[in-house]
Amino acid sequence: MKYTAIEKLTSTYNVAAVYAVGLFSDASADEQAQVLNALPESLQPLAKGHIQAMHQATATSSDCGYAALSSLSVIAENVTAQSALLVFGLGERARLDYIRLRHCAAQVTRWVKEKPFSTLCINLPASCYNLDKAALAILEGVDLSVFEGLWVRQTHKYKSDENLANDWENQNLKETQLVNPSCSQVELDAYRSYCRAVHLSRELVATPANIATPQELLAHAQRIAENHSLQLNVLDENALKKNRMNGICAVSSGAIRPLFLHLRYKPAMETALGPLALIGLGLTFDPDGLSQGHSGTIEGMKKNMAGAANVLAAAEIIGQQQPARQVDFILPLAERDRSLRSGDLITLSNGETIEINGPHIEGHLMLADALLFAQTLGAERVVSTATLSNAPVACLGTQIAPAWSSNEAATAQLIRAGAMAGEQVWPLPIVHEHQATLVSPFADYRTPREEFGAGLAALFLQQFVGEMDWSHMDISGTSWSAVVDGYLNAGATGWGVSTLVNWVDIVAKADADINAGKKNND
């Protein structure tokens, strides 16, 4: 799929093109004229006549006349041989946000992709692009709304890596043009690469577990490291045992061997600030997925590697963006193929011991190892993400991810990162009064029992955070969609990739400003 930034539309029809015009419900006459006059001359009477008819039908003493512009209007599908004119509503100007803009772009694309058009021209009021990363919101709406997962195709044929994230094959639509988008072609190309990385996360989660193994994720990590000059350190089972990372080893001992991947992005300029770290749980197959209530279908068994898939995608984007801060990407990977017995003792790399106190704690053990590893790297701030518990879905549903943090500042930064991405993060407390439930007479800690929910899981993980600023985001509900919703098709969502990328950007800039202020004071 090609994305092109153009200054204006041509004065004549582009054969096989869809002209999509977005207008605010409270658009002024001048703004409306500016948008419509940018259309090819022969289309302008059609568009203006349609808007005028809507004005006459809806205008009241308390109404600007464009209240009906709340959804997609197909004015003319076959203006010439293969052309169409669409008008879609952006809602009220003051209420336009990233989510709304992305939703509108997805709505248009869903209509277009079923038609015989090769080009989509999107023309919006100039004020739309005052929204931060407006062009990225549009590209996400267009590019991500076509993803259906390669494995739902009739061919059921896994593609080679260069085509992995290309779900545009067999689609008529080949190019999207943004009229005067207030960003360069280089930025549009970068946004396309951004969407490709989200596609990668979606596809890895959607791929059957016999293919999306730890070794398969390693292959993608190697490609990302090579393409973006990242350092890659791989710990196999022998290295894990040597380093006493027994939390991961305890989960898997069958034919599919566990791996621990550590990718590192280092900026060109050295910085005195400590590294940031992103940790993504990669439980590539969990036979307890059904019993834990993950939708009652097979995705509950394979989607528990969504955290690792998101962090891998974030590594690709951050490798492209090259922020001025070191970022470490940590992926503990294993396929659960054995049952831990209640009462078993596990010794971690720091010498502390854990007593197994019930089922469904494999992810907790793997993340404990990963958090301890992040401490050895000297990470100052860390975000871990996983599908640890289905409990938050009961109260937050599938559109909001809960988060727990070691302090309020860390919480605020993660919430802001999610808001910038159109991904809502909801803070939940770590209840320290429950600390007694983690006390064991035989070990330093015991694993949290499932009936105590996700909050106790967060309290357990906090035991291995040390002095790091830490947040944990649970994506059990958001990583998979059962229905078509906005830019999401049914299936893996890639939800959280953008939040992680934004978090790195926010924290890196905030810490740099603080550091600069200290130097000025000195």
Q: Hey, what domains does the chain have and what are their CATH numbers? A: 2-179 (3.40.220.10), 197-514 (3.40.630.10)
Whether 134 and 182 have beta carbons less than 8 Å apart is answered as: yes
Q: Can you give the pLDDT at residue 69?
A: 42
For residues 334 and 251, the answer to whether their CB atoms sit within 8 Å is yes
Strands 345-347 and 175-179, bridge-based pairing:
unpaired
Spatial contact of 486 and 424, defined as CB atoms under 8 Å apart? no
Question: What is the C-alpha to C-alpha distance for residues 262 and 327, in angstroms, rounded to an integer?
Answer: 10
For residues 303 and 480, the answer to whether their CB atoms sit within 8 Å is yes
Predicted TM-score (pTM) of the model is: 0.90
Q: Per the structure block, which two tokens stand in for 175? A: 């190019």
Phi, psi of 122 (to 5 degrees): -105, 120
Q: Which two tokens stand for residue 357?
A: 């106190």
Q: Measured between alpha carbons, how far is 217 from 157 in angstroms, rounded to an integer?
A: 18
pLDDT of 77 reads 52
- First and final CA of the chain: distance in angstroms? 52
Q: What is the pLDDT of residue 341?
A: 85
Q: What is the DSSP letter of 163?
A: G
Which helix (H) or strand (E) element contains residue 470? strand 469-474
Contact 305, 284 (CB under 8 A): yes
What pLDDT score does 244 carry? 94
Q: What is the DSSP letter of 488?
A: B
Q: Is 379 helix (H, G, I), strand (E, B) or coil?
A: coil
* Sign of CA pseudo-dihedral 287, 290, 291, 292: positive
Whole-angstrom distance, CA of residue 43 vs CA of residue 252: 63
The answer to whether residues 476 and 394 touch, using CB atoms and an 8 Å cutoff, is no
What pLDDT score does 161 carry?
Answer: 45
Sort strands 17-23 and 83-89 into parallel, antiparallel or unpaired.
parallel
Indicate the burial class of 490 (C-beta count within 10 angstroms; 0-12, 13-18, 19 or more): middle
The predicted structure's pLDDT at residue 518: 61
CA distance 103 to 121: 16
Ranges of beta strands (E only) in 164-207 are 175-179
The tens place of each residue's pLDDT in the chain, 522 residues long, gives: 889 998 877 656 566 788 888 888 888 888 888 888 888 777 788 777 777 766 555 544 333 333 334 455 555 555 555 678 888 888 888 989 999 999 999 989 988 888 888 899 999 999 999 999 999 999 999 999 876 654 433 333 454 444 444 455 557 888 999 998 988 999 999 999 999 999 899 989 988 888 889 999 999 999 999 999 999 999 999 999 999 999 999 888 766 889 999 999 999 888 888 999 999 999 998 776 444 444 445 556 788 999 999 999 999 999 999 999 999 999 999 998 766 788 899 999 999 999 999 888 899 999 999 999 999 999 999 999 999 888 888 889 899 999 999 999 999 999 999 999 999 999 999 988 889 999 999 999 999 887 667 888 999 999 999 999 999 999 999 999 888 888 888 889 999 999 999 999 999 988 777 766 666 665
| Nearest CA-CA partner of 124 in 113, 112, 109, 135 | 135
pLDDT at site 81: 52
Give pLDDT, residue 55.
58
Structure tokens at 346: 């596990």
Residue 414 CA: distances (Å) to CA of 158, 304, 469, 502, 505 = 35, 21, 12, 8, 11
Alpha carbons within 13 angstroms on the beta-carbon side of residue 374 total: 35
- Under 8 Å between Cβ of 143 and 1: yes
Q: How many CB atoms lie within 10 A of CB 132?
A: 10
